């Protein structure tokens, strides 16, 4: 027996048997994986989903024949999908890459369960972003309109002369200026309302005026305006109770964005990124 154990031929036979066993195990695993890849299972839940989609579209349940065609359509789609993957058609396709990125982001959003914040957290968010929830400024003013189509080259001179008379109080406000469908008096109106009437540029000019005196001319899309700004109430930060729904929505969106970024950074750590700038005349840059 000892002599047999020392025989090189015996060792060769043992090694050959070992290789054969390992090969068999690998072959069986590969065959199993190939067989599994070539199996397409149309489960009961899949059939229910196909039937539900059909019913949603056609407002009735599918017949047995129609359900069979739906199932065959699913099999056809799955066959083409798997064969396309086998051919590597998913690689270097920007549309496919973008869709996969979006799908993974949707999944991570679902994973990023946002806890319900309490009022203390919402108030902190409100305090950190006051301009998002500030009440609009309110304007009270009188305007006198000068029509450029009527006054032509005299427009600037007429505006200057009329402004001087208004400041002296020598004219009746309602009896001067050119006819217009625009309001002449505005009381406690928001900047948005004024902008709808005169344009955003007019509101920006209005913000630069002092109160209690005639100023101008201000420009709008209609022409020139002489303005007496009676009052401008600056917008104040709203109380949480007034804007809680908006603050909660924005808090959740910000929280979800941060969680998604954290998930991405965890994914990013798994990869070594190399910027190959060899074509640009320098070596690769590693991160």
Is residue 161 located within the same domain as residue 227?
yes
Strand partners, 262: none
Nearest alpha carbon to residue 213 among 174, 166, 158? 166
Structural domain including 65 reads: 41-87
Q: Which residue reads 């709808």 in tokens?
A: 196
3-state secondary structure (DSSP) of residue 263: helix
Residues 6+ apart with CB under 8 A from 93: none
How many CA atoms, within 13 angstroms, populate the side-chain half-sphere of residue 126?
A: 23
Residue 111 lies in a domain: no
Is residue 148 located within the same domain as residue 201?
yes
In tens digits, the chain (287 residues) has pLDDT values of 555 445 555 455 555 555 445 445 544 544 444 444 578 888 889 899 999 999 999 999 999 999 889 988 888 888 888 888 888 887 778 888 888 888 877 777 666 555 788 889 888 988 888 888 888 889 999 999 999 999 899 999 999 999 999 998 878 888 889 998 898 999 999 988 999 999 999 999 998 899 999 998 999 989 999 999 999 988 878 888 888 898 898 988 888 888 888 888 888 888 777 766 665 455 445 55
Residue 128 lies in a domain: no
User: What is the predicted pLDDT for the residue at 24?
Assistant: 55
Among the candidates 184, 209, 233, a domain finishes at: 233
pTM higher than the cut 0.75: no
Number of domains comprising the chain: 3
Is residue 152 located within the same domain as residue 214?
yes
Residue 242 lies in a domain: no
Among the candidates 87, 103, 122, a domain finishes at: 87
Q: What CATH number is attached to the domain comprising 192?
A: 3.10.50.40
- Measured at the CA of 87, the angle between CA 83 and CA 88, to 5 degrees, comes to 115
Q: Could you tell me if 139 and 231 are in contact, meaning their C-beta atoms sit under 8 angstroms apart?
A: yes
Residue 272 lies in a domain: no
């Amino acid at each position: 027996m000892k002599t047999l154990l020392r025989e090189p031929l015996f060792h060769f036979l043992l090694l050959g048997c070992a290789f054969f066993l390992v090969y068999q195990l690998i072959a069986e695993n590969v065959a199993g994986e190939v067989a599994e890849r070539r199996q397409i299972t149309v489960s009961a839940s899949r059939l229910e989903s196909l039937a539900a989609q059909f019913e949603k579209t056609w407002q009735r349940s599918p017949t047995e024949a129609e359900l069979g065609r739906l199932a065959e359509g699913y099999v056809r789609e799955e066959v083409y999908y798997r064969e396309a993957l086998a051919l590597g058609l998913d690689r270097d396709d920007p549309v496919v890459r973008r869709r996969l990125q979006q799908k993974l982001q949707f999944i991570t959003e679902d994973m990023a369960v946002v806890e319900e914040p309490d009022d203390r957290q919402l108030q902190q968010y409100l305090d950190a972003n006051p301009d998002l929830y500030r009440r609009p400024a309110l304007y009270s003013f009188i305007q006198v309109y000068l029509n450029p189509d009527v006054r032509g080259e005299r427009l600037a001179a007429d505006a200057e002369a009329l402004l001087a008379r208004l400041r002296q109080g020598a004219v009746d406000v309602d009896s001067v200026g050119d006819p217009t469908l625009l309001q002449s008096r505005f009381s406690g109106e928001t900047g948005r309302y004024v902008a709808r009437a005169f344009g955003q540029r007019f509101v920006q000019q209005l913000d630069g005026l002092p109160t209690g005196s005639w100023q101008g001319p201000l420009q709008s899309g209609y022409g020139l305006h002489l303005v007496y700004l009676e009052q401008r109430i600056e917008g104040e930060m709203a109380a949480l109770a007034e804007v809680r729904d908006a603050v909660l929505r924005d808090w959740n969106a910000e929280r979800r964005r941060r969680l998604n970024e954290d998930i991405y950074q965890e994914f990013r750590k798994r990869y070594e990124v190399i910027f190959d700038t060899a074509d640009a005349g320098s070596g690769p840059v590693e991160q």
